[in-house]
């Protein structure tokens, strides 16, 4: 869920911040290609705060971290 008026993205299990910003855990993700596409769509938003399903909220460097993750997301799994 994304609120464009505040830039807050409630990402749930789509993003994690337990060890930097990462995508979903492949052990629990049935379709990594779809998950990678979701990360790229999130990176296109004007995100200022990420509330992940696991880990602390990301409040600084958010857009940059999300863009970097999207650029390096593996779509071949």
What are the sequence ranges of the domains in the chain?
Answer: 2-71
pLDDT tens for each residue of 6-23: 999 999 999 999 989 999
- Amino acid 19: pLDDT: 87
Residues 27-36 as b/e (b if ≥16 CB within 10 A, e otherwise) read eebeebeebb
pLDDT level of residue 77 (50, 70, 90 thresholds): very low
Look at the pTM and tell me if it is higher than 0.85. yes
pLDDT tens for each residue of 26-74: 999 999 999 999 999 999 999 999 999 999 999 999 999 999 999 988 5
């Amino acid at each position: 869920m994304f609120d464009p008026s505040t830039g807050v993205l409630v990402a749930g299990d789509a993003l994690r911040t337990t060890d930097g910003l990462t995508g979903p855990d492949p052990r629990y993700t049935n379709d990594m290609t779809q998950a990678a596409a979701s990360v790229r769509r999130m990176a296109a938003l004007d995100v200022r705060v990420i509330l992940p399903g696991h880990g602390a909220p990301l409040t600084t460097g958010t857009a940059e971290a999300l863009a970097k993750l999207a650029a390096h997301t593996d779509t071949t799994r």
